[in-house]
Structure formats: C-alpha cells, structure tokens
Amino acid sequence: MEELWTIRRLGQWATEYLTRHGVESPRSSAELLLSQVLGLERIGLYLDFDRPLTKDELAGFKALLLRRRAHEPVAYIRGKREFFGLELAVGPGVLIPRPETELLVERGVALLAQAERPKILDLCTGGGAVALALASQLPTARVLACDISAQALAYARQNAQALGLEERVSFLQGPLWEPVAATGGFFDLITANPPYVTSGEWPCLPPDVRDHEPRLALEAGPEGLDVIGPIIVGSRAFLRPLAWLLVEIGAGQGPAVMALAQAAGIFSRIELLRDLAGMDRVLACERGDYG
C-alpha cells in the first residue's frame, strides 16, 4: 500500500528535512510552500490537517522543497511577498521587502496624513514596496519612484498595475538623483531604503540573502554608507522647506548617519527611529528654511 501523506504529516517531515539542511525558519518555509501547492492560506493547513495529498500535489511540493533546500528564498519560490498589507510580486533581481521597513512607511504616512496632494520621491525603490505602500495609504499623493535596476523596476511597474496605483506612482531608471534632476521637482517627502550592508558583512550574510538577492541593493562599501551619504547630501536640491527625508539604515549606523545629516547643514530636526528590536532603523530629518 502507498503511504498516506496528510498535510500534518508532510508538514512535520518537511520541517525536519529543512532543519537537517540548515535552512532558516524551516517550519515557516515548509508551511508557506505547502500552502502554495495546495492553494490554501497558511491557516488552512491547520483547519484541514488530516487531508491527504494527491500524487501531483506531492510532486509539486517536492520540487519547491528542493529549491528551498538550496536556500532559495521562500518569497522567490512563491513569487510574492506581503508588505504593509499589500501583496507584491518579487523574484530574482529584486530585493525582498522586510517587515522592519514598514517603520519608514508608518512615519511617512503620519507626516503627510493632513497634507493635500503631497509629492513624494522614493529612491532605491526596488520592487516598489515603500512607494506603493505610501500611495495606498495617502490617496491624494503623487509618488515618483526611482531605481538604477531595470529588472527591479519591471517588478515595481507590475506591482503598481496590479494594485491599481499606476496613475499615481511613476517610475524612472537611473542612479540616485540623476533621473530626478531632469524633473525639476521639489518634494514634501523623500524616502529611501538604500543598500547599507558593509563590504565586510557581505560574506557573513545568510546564503538565502548572499547567494540569491541582488548585491546591488544590499552592499554599500566599507562602512555601508556609499549610498546613504549621497542621499543625505543630495536631498538639499529636492526638499521643500519643512519637508522630510526618511532613510532606512543599518542597526549600527546611527551615529555615523546622524553626523552626516548634521554636516549637511540643512536640517532643523534630526531623529533616529528604532525598530521593534530596539535597533536604530530609520534616519528622519526635517529640512529647515532654504539658505
């Protein structure tokens, strides 16, 4: 007789299998991939745990499990990732949105909650997570999102269309301020989730990240400031008076980015926002009067 593989039994076995192969978050990985194959929400696995899988479902799950064993990120395997309540398409060549980046969006929404038709610029937009989350929460906002990677922008445009935000979010390709300069615009808010991993940290990253996600979106020189520095300095030319700059930073970069912001000489207020782990995560700077 053939073995009967129920959802519960297969989930337990897959979790142990991924654990033996050193995969991060083995239980979560197994359940997300199993729900993908079965077309269920994750909670559905628990509600129907005694359901047996068909041969085709077992074969499909095995194929996904082998990819995860090779440390391919679950988000790439599933082709999607949730961020700030939005389902975003992701894949090779685009950074996977992280929960800690939602702090940046939360502050941006709070700053512009009372603004009429605010103009927002999102640098290093990747797959558009920050830009689209802000647009979804601020229905009168216009957002310009820029990235150097054509591959990442393809995902960003796809996500904007899927979410019905393509009329209010536009995209430009190029390095940092170069595509923005041609627009001649000023903004009420500038956001960025730039690369900030140091060159020394790069080899030590988990294989899920190091071997699969784009290095261009992650690594930024010996101190991890090769992109953050130009963002802070260049914002002078594009921020309206009393507008804000919000930049995600690495956990140990607080003092360095505070010093960069103070040296820029244009900000009346400089703050560091901490994430749920108590780590410095977002540099928040308000521009003073022009001068």
pLDDT value for 174? 96
Domains and CATH numbers, the chain: 7-70 (1.10.8.10), 85-287 (3.40.50.150)
Binding site feature residues: 147, 193-196
Tokens of 110: 């709070």
Amino acid letter for position 198:
T
The three-state (H, E, C) secondary structure of the chain, written as one string: CCCCCEHHHHHHHHHHHHHHCCCCCHHHHHHHHHHHHHCCCHHHHHHCCCCECCHHHHHHHHHHHHHHHCCCCHHHHHCEEEECCEEEECCCCCCCCCHHHHHHHHHHHHHHCCCCCCEEEEECCCCCHHHHHHHHHCCCCEEEEEECCHHHHHHHHHHHHHCCCCCCEEEEECCCCHHHHCCCCCEEEEEECCCCECCCCHHHCCHHHHCCCCHHHCECCCCCCCCHHHHHHHHHHCEEEEEEEEEECCCCCHHHHHHHHHHHCCEEEEEEEECCCCCEEEEEEEECCCC
Give the integer Cα–Cα distance in Å for 257 and 96.
24
Binding site feature residues for substrate: 193-196
Q: What is the pTM of this model?
A: 0.94
Give the integer Cα–Cα distance in Å for 30 and 18.
8
List pLDDT tens digits, range 190-203. Answer: 999 999 999 999 99
pLDDT value for 290? 61
The confidence band for 182, taking pLDDT boundaries of 50, 70 and 90, is: confident
List pLDDT tens digits, range 24-49. Answer: 999 999 999 999 999 998 888 988 88
List pLDDT tens digits, range 136-168. Answer: 999 999 999 999 999 999 999 999 999 999 999
Residue with tokens 């990747």: 126
Q: Which residue from 19, 176, 208, 197 is spatially nearest to 96, judged by alpha carbons?
A: 208
Furthest-apart CA pair in the chain: how many Å? 81
- Considering only 15-29, 33-47, 120-134, 211-225, which range has the smallest mean pLDDT? 33-47
Average pLDDT over residues 96-103: 96
Q: How many CB atoms lie within 10 A of CB 45?
A: 20
The confidence band for 1, taking pLDDT boundaries of 50, 70 and 90, is: very low
119 and 187 in contact (C-beta within 8 Å)? yes
Give the integer Cα–Cα distance in Å for 17 and 12.
9
Binding site feature residues for S-adenosyl-L-methionine: 147, 193
